[in-house]
Chains A and B, each alone.
Chain A
Amino acid sequence: MSDTTTEPPLTPEPDAAAPAAPDEAIPAGFDDGQDHIGLVHHTATGLSNTKLAMWLFLGSECLLFGGLISTYMLYRNRQGDALGPDQLWDIPFTSATSFVLLMSSLTMVLSVSAAKRKDERGTRLWLTVTALLGGLFLAGQVYEFTVFYREGLGYTTSLFSSSFYTLTGFHGVHVAVGIIMLLALVGMLAKGRIVGDKAETVEMVGLYWHFVDVVWIVIFTLVYLVPA
């Protein structure tokens, strides 16, 4: 899943006489001569490599979605005589799918919480529910797009349509990738194939998932609710 540290599977419990707890900010590679079996690397900031990487990545994703959103905002009124937002949006339906995605964030966070408690079944359960809710959201998107298409909003119909489908399409792809990651995680947890800290891995996937939700929070408001 990521280049987290490897914990050898047959690790004995950390030696009771071993010095400071692993979160002490002992910089990378530091060797104090003690046997640190089972304790992971230390980093110069005391922070996890993977978590830092994920937050940096999410910061960069803001620029990706920002570009797509601004393209949409620029082109949202450029449909000429063709269909525009007012004729197309089914706000109750989209509110429902948005609610579903929002709840999936809740179930994701419950999964992380379970992982921290080492509740393995709970972790996998909530991850699966999250994936299902994400799938439901995507199904709603697909349905919505099908309706729009039948009503005459194709990808190439107008600037508005191209921008709309591209923005929501990118988001949808991110959701789909998220669902795959969630399900893969469930499988790997079940088979014990997670290297490193399980709770951290769940948390990483969670960060990605929440970000996808947060992008939708912005899209829902700017695209669907703000009048054209």
Chain B
Amino acid sequence: MSSDTELSTTGDAVEHDATANDDLYHHEISDKTYILIALFLAVLTAMEVAVTEIAGMPEALLIPSLLIMMVIKFFVVVSYFMHLKHDSALFKFGFYIGLGGAIVLYSVMLTTFHFFLA
């Protein structure tokens, strides 16, 4: 929508009624912040790989830590790079229902296959 560019070039100068999109215009992330976020993601990836190299790490510790790091990376990219954190709740609804649904449904399916029984 041209509204995006209009407001981003004029900042808060234009009067407008509060809308669901308000946050979008007041939360422009700077390029520098993006680079820092990318650095953080790279470090986290390195940590993930490093953790698998640790000899003697019990699986009960390894797998949860890998999953946690994966989830953090996932949500950082979605929330900041994809800007979902500062976007409309409707976008969050559409995406997270799909994501949540997928996780729940497929986990139940794998459970019936006794996948999670070690």
Question: In whole angstroms, how far apart are the Cα atoms of A63 and B97 in the complex?
Answer: 10
**Contact between A200 and B4 (Cβ–Cβ < 8 Å)?**
yes
Closest-by-CB residue of A relative to B49 is: A95
Size of interface on B: residues with Cβ below 8 Å to A:
63
State how many angstroms separate the Cβ of B36 from the closest Cβ of chain A: 10
Q: Which 4 A-B pairs have the closest CB atoms?
A: A59-B98, A66-B102, A106-B38, A221-B70
Question: In whole angstroms, how far apart are the Cα atoms of A206 and B95 in the complex?
Answer: 15
Question: In whole angstroms, how far apart are the Cα atoms of A166 and B4 in the complex?
Answer: 39
CB contacts (< 8 Å) of A95 on chain B: these are 45-46, 49
CB contacts (< 8 Å) of A66 on chain B: these are 102-103, 105-106
Within 8 A of A (CB), among B66-106: 66-67, 69-70, 73-74, 77-78, 81-82, 84, 88, 90-91, 94-99, 101-103, 105-106
Question: In whole angstroms, how far apart are the Cα atoms of A63 and B96 in the complex?
Answer: 11
CB contacts (< 8 Å) of B52 on chain A: these are 91, 225, 227
**Contact between A51 and B77 (Cβ–Cβ < 8 Å)?**
no
**Contact between B95 and A70 (Cβ–Cβ < 8 Å)?**
no
Which residues of B line the A interface, CB within 8 A? 1-9, 14-17, 19-21, 25, 28-29, 31, 34-35, 37-38, 41-42, 45-46, 48-49, 52, 59, 62-63, 66-67, 69-70, 73-74, 77-78, 81-82, 84, 88, 90-91, 94-99, 101-103, 105-106, 109-110, 113, 115
Chain A interface size band reads 35 or more
Asked whether A169 is an interface residue with its Cβ less than 8 Å from the other chain, the reply is: no
By secondary structure, the A interface counts as helix
Asked whether A58 is an interface residue with its Cβ less than 8 Å from the other chain, the reply is: yes
CB contacts (< 8 Å) of B1 on chain A: these are 5, 22-23, 40, 48, 197, 200
Question: In whole angstroms, how far apart are the Cα atoms of A7 and B113 in the complex?
Answer: 54
Asked whether A46 is an interface residue with its Cβ less than 8 Å from the other chain, the reply is: yes
Max chain A C-beta neighbours (<10 A), residue from B2, B20, B88, B90: B2
CB contacts (< 8 Å) of B81 on chain A: these are 105-106, 108-109, 206, 210
**Contact between B98 and A25 (Cβ–Cβ < 8 Å)?**
no
State how many angstroms separate the Cβ of A96 from the closest Cβ of chain B: 10
State how many angstroms separate the Cβ of A42 from the closest Cβ of chain B: 9
| Cβ 8 A contact of A61, one of B5, B37, B74, B98 | B98
State how many angstroms separate the Cβ of A228 from the closest Cβ of chain B: 11
Question: In whole angstroms, how far apart are the Cα atoms of A55 and B66 in the complex?
Answer: 27
Closest-by-CB residue of B relative to A103 is: B38
With A23-B19, A110-B34, A210-B81 known to touch, is A63 a contact of B3 (CB < 8 Å)? no
**Contact between B109 and A70 (Cβ–Cβ < 8 Å)?**
yes
**Contact between B6 and A22 (Cβ–Cβ < 8 Å)?**
yes
Max chain A C-beta neighbours (<10 A), residue from B37, B42, B59, B102: B102
With A52-B91, A221-B67, A221-B69 known to touch, is A98 a contact of B45 (CB < 8 Å)? yes
| Cβ 8 A contact of A73, one of B3, B14, B19, B115 | B115
